[in-house]
Amino acid sequence: MSASRSHEVIGLIVSAHMRLAVLASGSGTLLDAMARAGLPIDLVMVDRHCAVEQIAAEHSLRCVLIERTDFSPNFDRERYTDKVLDQLSIERIDLVAMAGWGTILTSSAFKAYPDRILNTHPSLLPAFPGWNAVEATLAYGAKVTGCTVHLATEQVDAGPILAQEAVDVLPGDDQTTLHERIKAVERRLYVETIQTILQRERVS
C-alpha cells in the first residue's frame, strides 16, 4: 500500500475503503447503537448463540457464528483465534470493534490487526481493569467512574486510550444502576469514536 493511501488517526493506522467488523457475544445493545447510528458494518461475528444474532438480523447485517464450544481450562485459544482470523480475512476486514466479545484472543489477532482492534471498558482506565470493573468501582468507594474506548492489545484493558467520559457514582448506586448509566455513555462514545476514525479516513 502506498503512503498516499494510508494515514494515522489517534494512533490508529487505517487504509482506504475500510471494512468494519463487530465482534459481540451478549445482548447486542452496542451493535444496535452502531447500526442505528448508520455505521457501515460489513460483518458481525458472534462466538455463541446470543441476542446479537437477532439484532444483526433486524438491521440486515451479515452475521457469522464462530462458535466456542469449550469453556474448560483446556480450551485451544490459539486454534480458535485462527478461526476468527480466517473469517476476518475472507471478509477482507480492516477494522475490528469488539462489543461485548466474550473470548480473549491470542497475540496472533493483534499481530494480524496491529492497532486496528477497538474495545470499550466500563471504567476510566487504567483504573479498575478486568471483568468486574463496576463491582470493583463500588467496592473501592470511587465517586467518579466512566467509560473508556481503547485499542485492544494482548494485555487485557491495557491498550492506548482513544476516548474517555466520566460518569458520577451516585448515592445508593448498585452494580445494575451504575452499569446502566455507564452503558448509556458507552453506546454514544463508542459510536462517536468509530465515526471519527471513519470520517477522517474518508477525507484523507
Residue 191: φ, ψ to 5°: -60, -45
Which of the residues 59, 121, 150, 179 is marked catalytic?
121
Q: Which of 131, 161, 128, 124 is nearest to 146 (CA)?
A: 124
CB 157 within 8 A of CB 124: no
Long-range CB contacts (within 8 A, 24+) of 190-193: 190/30, 190/33, 190/34, 190/97, 190/99, 190/118, 190/120, 190/149, 191/33, 191/34, 191/37, 191/39, 192/163, 193/118, 193/149, 193/162, 193/163
CA–CA separation, 153 and 109 (whole Å): 9
Q: 150 an active-site residue?
A: no
Residue 108: φ, ψ to 5°: -55, -35
Question: Mind telling me the catalytic residues?
Answer: 121
